[in-house]
Amino acid sequence: EVQLVQSGGGLVQPGGSLRLSCAASGFTFSDYWMHWVRQSPGKGLVWVSRINTDGSGTSYADSVKGRFTISRDNAKNTLYLQMNSLRDEDTAVYYCGSIYDYWGQGVLVTVSS
Amino acid sequence: QAGLTQPPSVSKGLRQTATLTCTGNSNNVGNQGAGWLQQHQGHPPKVLSYRNNNRPSGISERFSASRSGNTASLTITGLQPEDEADYYCSAWDSSLNSVVFGGGTKLTVL
C-alpha cells in the first residue's frame, strides 16, 4: 500500500522556523520528482516547491524563494521542507506528493503570534 | 506564477453528465498535458487522471479526461451524490519551471 505520512506541522510565531517531513512507503520513492503544495483555509491548491529524483535540482514559488528549502533522503525514503522566516500568509495545510500519483494527508502550519 | 483557468462552479442533476474545463497555454496544458484532482472538504486531493487521460487503478470509468489544444476537460458521467467536491487541474509549466494549478471548480450535484 502506498503511503506518504507527513509530520512536523504546528503553531509557530512570525519569523520562526519549522521543518516538515514526508515519509514514503509502498513505491520506489527515488524514481519520483516530489513536490510540496499548500492550501490556505478555504482557498485552492498552490504549488510551493519541487525536487528531482536525486535531489540535485529544485525550484520554488516566488512567494517562498529564499525562505524555504526542499530536500530529500532517498536512503530514508523521506522528503523535507525547511521553512524559515515564516509569515502570517504561510498559514496553510501543506501537502507532499508526486502531484500526478500520490499525495500525503497534509499537515497544518499556523503562523501566528 | 500564473495559473490555469477553471470555472468556479458547475451544477448538474443526479445521473447527468458534467464537463469541467481547464484552460492554460502552450507552455503547460498545450505542451505537457494536464492532471485532474478531486478534493472533498477536509480531505487531501485524490488523483483522477494524469497526463490527460491516464486513470489510476481504482478510479471509476465515469471519470474521463481529454485535451484539445490549450484546454483540458474532465467529463463525469452518471453523476452521483459523492461526486460533489472541488476539482482541480494541474500541469507542469516548462516556462515557469513549476507546477501550476487551476483555481478549482466546485461541482454541485442537484
Checking if the pLDDT of B2 tops 90, the result is no
Name the residue facing A100 among B35, B44, B102 (closest C-beta). B35
> What pLDDT digit, counting tens, does each position of B55-64 carry?
888 899 999 9
The mean pLDDT value for A80-89 works out to: 98
Contact flag A61-B98 (C-beta cutoff 8 Å): yes
Q: Touching check for A42 and chain B: CB below 8 Å?
A: no
State how far the alpha carbon of A19 is from the alpha carbons of A69, A107, A113, B28, in Å: 9, 11, 18, 30
Contact flag A44-B103 (C-beta cutoff 8 Å): yes
Contact flag A61-B1 (C-beta cutoff 8 Å): yes
Burial of A37 by CB count in 10 Å (0-12 exposed, 13-18 middle, 19+ buried)? buried
Q: How many CB pairs under 8 A join A and B?
A: 52
SS3 A106: coil
Distance CA B104, CA B73 (A): 13
Other Cβ atoms less than 10 A from the Cβ of B95: the count is 13
The mean pLDDT value for B17-32 works out to: 94
> What pLDDT digit, counting tens, does each position of A8-49 carry?
999 999 999 999 999 999 999 999 999 999 999 999 999 999
Give contacts of B1 with chain A, Cβ < 8 Å.
Answer: 47, 61-62
> Nearest residue of A to residue B94 by CA position?
A59
* Angle of CA points A25, A30, A74, to nearest 5°: 80
Checking if the pLDDT of A108 tops 90, the result is yes
Checking if the pLDDT of A62 tops 80, the result is yes
Distance CA B84, CA A104 (A): 22
Whether residue B37 contacts residue B55, with contact meaning beta carbons closer than 8 Å, is answered with: no
Checking if the pLDDT of B52 tops 70, the result is no
Q: Report the C-alpha dihedral over residues A108, A91, B4, B8, rounded to 10 degrees.
A: 80
Distance CA A12, CA A107 (A): 13
Element (H, E) at A11: strand A10-12
Distance CA A49, CA A37 (A): 7
Nearest to B36, CA basis, from B100, B98, B80, B90: B90
Name the residue facing B88 among A35, A44, A62 (closest C-beta). A44
SS3 content of chain A, % helix, strand, coil (to 5): 5, 50, 45
Distance from CA of A105 to the nearest CA of B (A): 6
Name the residue facing A104 among B1, B44, B102 (closest C-beta). B44
Residue showing cell 467536491: B85
Distance CA B7, CA B104 (A): 7
Interface test with chain A among B98, B100, B106, by most A beta carbons within 10 Å: B98
